Amino acid sequence: MGTFTIGALDALVRRPGNEMFGYALSWRGRSLLREVLPPGVTSGWAVPAGPLLRLWAHSNLVPAEWILDVDGGVDVVHGTNFVVPPARHAARVVTVHDLTCLRFPELCTPTSRRYPDLIRRAARTGAWVHTPSAYVAAEACELLGLDPDRVRAVHHGAGHPAAEPGDPEAGGGRHLAAALTGCERYVLGLGTVEPRKDFPLLVRAFDRLAADRPDLGLVIAGGDGWGTEALNRAIVAATHGDRIGRAGYVEGATRSGLLADAAVFAFPSVYEGFGLPPLEAMAAGVPVVATAAGAVPEVCGDAAVIVPVGDVDALVVAMAGVLDDPTAATALVTAGRRHVQDFSWERCAAGLETLYEDAVGA
């Protein structure tokens, strides 16, 4: 969500005629707002999310104009993370990244489970809805009862890596993998460690692959979430757990290096509203194996090997096919590099700008 917000803001502020302001529904993160906003984006206020979410669930108090404090007002206020403030005069757009809160409420926090009511109320009071995929757009209309004419799917962009495989400037993906797993050849999993990402499934699949491939490791990169305990249990139970390493949260050159040097990128998710990491892997020239989780088939197209959600046997076969067949791996890399060109932040910004114009016009 942060990647989307920053990527879209950066591309929007570069388009002629746009003046962009950033605000934050986060009191703990208030000191970071100016630091993270792209150049050219003016900083608004950071406000506490908890009390305002409770207030906005049933009232229009504390409108966006108060939060932004912009002379002359704004044309559109965009809530980029499921929640959009009420507004006195501005058109409103809210991004619904996925509907995990309805599809898999057991995988969500109490705060996330409040999103459906907030989205429905925003729509009733005139907000338009942006989704990152046609899959989520259809879900939103079906599960939230939204007007399809006011729901717009605009794909996210996908950043391109800063380095090619083996480039020491990238942070040395192979060197980091060797330090973590004892192997320079590795499968990479990337994402916050939460149940929806199903990293324990990836551990079980890797454990079976590792039996016949003593040179292969598994690196899981991503910050701790509330799926950490289950992942740790899976690693301890694995026969080849000594070849599984956790890199924690990674960014910049370290992230680029891990992506660029991976033998295969695995995305074993249970459900996704978009699926940015597979596109990042494609941009890095890495073959992708992913589950048919939500919007993943839409986003990956024919540039990845897609297997059923939760099917460890299919995941093992798919990864083995890529690891053991250089021709198949090269074909996937070529398809991925071609496919990811369709996902640019400039194209995302153009789609959002059209959405904003329609919302203002209505």
Q: In CATH, what number is assigned to the domain containing residue 108?
A: 3.40.50.2000
Mean pLDDT for the stretch of residues 131-149: 97
**How many Å apart are CA 205 and CA 314, to the nearest integer?**
9
CA-based radius of gyration for the chain? 21
Number of domains in the chain: 2
From the list 104, 105, 62, the residue with the least C-alpha distance to 83 is 62
Asked whether residue 310 falls in the same domain as residue 349, the answer is no
The string of pLDDT tens digits covering residues 194-245 is 999 999 999 999 999 999 999 999 999 999 988 999 999 999 999 999 999 9
Read off the pLDDT band of 163 (50, 70, 90).
very low
Whether 162 is in a domain gets the answer: no
Mean pLDDT for the stretch of residues 60-86: 89
104: exposed, middle or buried (Cβ count in 10 Å: 0-12, 13-18, 19+)? middle
Read off the pLDDT band of 168 (50, 70, 90).
very low
Whether the Cβ atoms of residue 218 and residue 250 lie closer than 8 Å to each other: no
**How many Å apart are CA 300 and CA 297, to the nearest integer?**
5
Read off the pLDDT band of 161 (50, 70, 90).
very low
From the list 202, 286, 135, the residue with the least C-alpha distance to 278 is 286
**How many Å apart are CA 96 and CA 264, to the nearest integer?**
30
What integer pLDDT is reported at residue 69 of this predicted model? 74
The string of pLDDT tens digits covering residues 86-110 is 999 999 999 999 999 999 888 777 8
Give the rounded distance of the alpha carbon of 76 from its chain centre.
24
Please determine, for residue 300, whether its predicted confidence score (pLDDT) is greater than 80.
yes
User: What DSSP letter does each residue of 122-175 carry, written as one string?
Assistant: HHHTT-EEEESSHHHHHHHHHHH---GGGEEE-----PPPS--TT-GGGT-HHH
Please determine, for residue 165, whether its predicted confidence score (pLDDT) is greater than 80.
no
Asked whether residue 120 falls in the same domain as residue 182, the answer is no
Whether 163 is in a domain gets the answer: no
Instruction: Provide the pairing of β-strand 76-79 with 21-25.
Output: unpaired
Identity at 235, one-letter amino acid code: I
Whether 120 is in a domain gets the answer: yes
**pLDDT > 90 in the chain, percent:** 79
Asked whether residue 307 falls in the same domain as residue 181, the answer is yes
Asked whether residue 62 falls in the same domain as residue 139, the answer is yes
115 vs 109, residue with greater confidence: 115
- Quote the pTM value: 0.91
**How many Å apart are CA 180 and CA 184, to the nearest integer?**
10
Whether 187 is in a domain gets the answer: yes
Residue 279 structural domain = 168-340
Please determine, for residue 111, whether its predicted confidence score (pLDDT) is greater than 90.
no
Read off the pLDDT band of 16 (50, 70, 90).
very high
Asked whether residue 324 falls in the same domain as residue 357, the answer is no
Whether 313 is in a domain gets the answer: yes
